[in-house]
Chain A
Amino acid sequence: MENAVVIDRLTKKFGDFTAVDEIGLTVQKGEIFGFLGANGAGKTTAIRMLCGLLLPTSGSGSVGGFDIYKETERIKKSIGYMSQKFSLYQDLTGDENLWFYGSVYQIPRRDLRKRMEELTETLGLSEFTNRPAGSLPVGWRQRLALATALLHRPKILFLDEPTAGIDPVFRRRFWEILYRLADEGTTLFVTTHYMDEAEFCRRISIMHQGKIIEVGKPQDLIARYDQPNLQETFITLISQEGGNG
């Protein structure tokens, strides 16, 4: 099977602070991969390198077959990235936000109109596209942010805490959308602090202080550490590594 993401000894230093410390991973095409870790472990920094937004200090990597040093522009065109912070223009409506992102991706006007209609339909956004993004409840804003990340039909989608602060009912609906994308062959690389969501992933990695300390199927990790669930497994692992400082 082809690989969507391959990284080896990937490192990012900011001054004398090592944010990402020689991490290695392989994510298969069409996989839902959970990229977990403690707060400040370096997940967002790693994702930004994978998305071609930040140059690594050392190590190697490719995303969708493109090199993360030399082919960042091609990476940006072939992936979707939903960042932790709201990427939406608060005073623009949903439609205007979609139109703006579509233009950034240089999607021809007629195609863009069609894709906007499709996404509005599949994500159930139709009631909300005429309202300023800033006035939408968080759950809908996140769906709109997802729509902007999907406009150019990316093969690989990076989602950085897409469901933070969303209630359990809405989170489940959001994940139904993600499953549908995965069924259609999109690779999903997602960070979350909700361990029930992490259990929905095919494989997960756990990051702590810049390093990846475990990779595997959620059920295998739970069994390996002899814990009742993933939440306890996560806590055990991070505690073993010496707190979260």
Chain B
Amino acid sequence: MSIVEVSNLYKTYGPFEAVDNFSFSANKGEILSLVGPDGAGKTSIFRAVCGLIKYDSGQIKIASFDVSRDFEKIKPLLGYMPQTFSLYPDLSVEENLYFYAGLFGLKRQQFDEKKKLLYQFSGLGPFHNRHAGALSGGMKQKLALSCALVHDPEVFVLDEPTTGVDPLSRRQFWDILKNLRAEGSAIIVSTPYIDELELSDRVIFIYRGSKMAEGTPGELVQKFVGQVYQLDLLPTSERMQQLNKIEGITSRRFGASVHIYTRGSHTIEEYHDDLRRIGIDPDLITPVQPELEDTFIQFMGN
């Protein structure tokens, strides 16, 4: 059941079209991820959904209330974590949490219970007396997250919540998101991490204010055009330069190996001579399935 409905959203800043006819919906019990380059319009969309900026045209409904008319009814339903969070640097970790709990009317006992859960995921317990301003970058991010999780909203809007967060903490954070999903919350999140897209129910690729593609991670991978091959040789700069001179294929570093992409229905066999010429044995090349990152790069490249 959809709880967030955004239709034909437009937002301009002067001559700049930040959001260009963007529509999407988010369902209860669903994690929807938005991914796109910086300046693609994600933050503007999030701010519009949370009633923080005026948009030029279009409609945003949350639980069938119109954001531009009934915002007071929507406010208690919403949890928002902005990209640049304004923690109070001279308050301690716990004081920051308590402040947000107060804003949402939590009782002391409710707060104490919630606090335990939040410290469990964030690992911030031992630092509860430390000033927020003295936390490391990733820890600040975790505290900001915790503040957004303090009350139990039905719709979470999280703008790059895991940027600068280490892999273990990210996993713990996503475990929390999965719990929220299981409890029926709708979660709209932007992320620069491809592995997080794979944990989402639906993903939207966004570029220059427009939707480029939408679907489950599996559906999006299917949209990849061309063939992907793995070359099991170290991606030294010299090798990458030589590979990039071969016309018709694209090569990218992939961990300690190389991924080679052919276009359309072309296959690697057509390039065996070119590869041998730069000393690469075609036997070291095997076809592999495209990954979500391959699809994303392809969409952004076009």
**B36 to A39, Cβ gap below 8 A?**
no
Does B264 have its Cβ within 8 Å of any Cβ on chain A?
Answer: no
**A234 to B168, Cβ gap below 8 A?**
yes
Q: Which residues of B contact A39 (CB under 8 A)?
A: 136-139, 141-142, 164-166, 169
**B237 to A38, Cβ gap below 8 A?**
no
**B37 to A234, Cβ gap below 8 A?**
no
Does A167 have its Cβ within 8 Å of any Cβ on chain B?
Answer: yes
> Contacting A231 at CB < 8 Å: which of B135, B167, B256?
B167
A41, A180, A193, A196 interface centre (most CB from chain B within 10 Å): A193
In the complex where A165-B164, A168-B192 touch, is A137 in contact with B38 (Cβ < 8 A)?
yes
Q: Which residues of B contact A40 (CB under 8 A)?
A: 123, 127, 135-136, 138-139
Mask: chain B, 246-259; 1 = CB below 8 Å from A; 0 = not? 00000011011000
Q: Which residues of B contact A182 (CB under 8 A)?
A: 237
B138, B237, B293 interface centre (most CB from chain A within 10 Å): B138
Mask: chain B, 278-302; 1 = CB below 8 Å from A; 0 = not? 0000000000000001001100110
**A238 to B139, Cβ gap below 8 A?**
no
Does B194 have its Cβ within 8 Å of any Cβ on chain A?
Answer: yes
In the complex where A139-B37, A244-B168 touch, is A84 in contact with B137 (Cβ < 8 A)?
yes
Does B24 have its Cβ within 8 Å of any Cβ on chain A?
Answer: no
Cα distance, A182 to B123, chains bound together (Å): 36
**A170 to B37, Cβ gap below 8 A?**
yes
Interface size on A, residues (CB 8 A): 44
**A44 to B136, Cβ gap below 8 A?**
yes
**A172 to B252, Cβ gap below 8 A?**
yes
Q: Which residues of A contact B23 (CB under 8 A)?
A: none
> Contacting A167 at CB < 8 Å: which of B36, B252, B253?
B36
**B167 to A193, Cβ gap below 8 A?**
yes
Q: Which residues of B contact A183 (CB under 8 A)?
A: 237
Mask: chain B, 10-41; 1 = CB below 8 Å from A; 0 = not? 00000000000000000000000001111100
Q: A41-B166, A244-B172 are in contact. List 14 more A-B contacts (CB 8 A).
A: A38-B138, A39-B137, A137-B38, A137-B39, A167-B36, A170-B37, A172-B253, A179-B240, A193-B166, A194-B193, A195-B167, A234-B166, A234-B167, A244-B169
B contact set with A: CB distance below 8 Å:
35-39, 83, 123, 125-127, 135-139, 141-142, 160, 163-172, 192-195, 235, 237, 240, 252-253, 255-256, 293, 296-297, 300-301
18 contacts between A and B (CB under 8 A): A38-B166, A39-B166, A40-B139, A84-B137, A84-B164, A137-B38, A164-B164, A165-B38, A165-B160, A167-B300, A169-B297, A194-B193, A218-B256, A219-B256, A229-B255, A238-B168, A244-B123, A244-B166
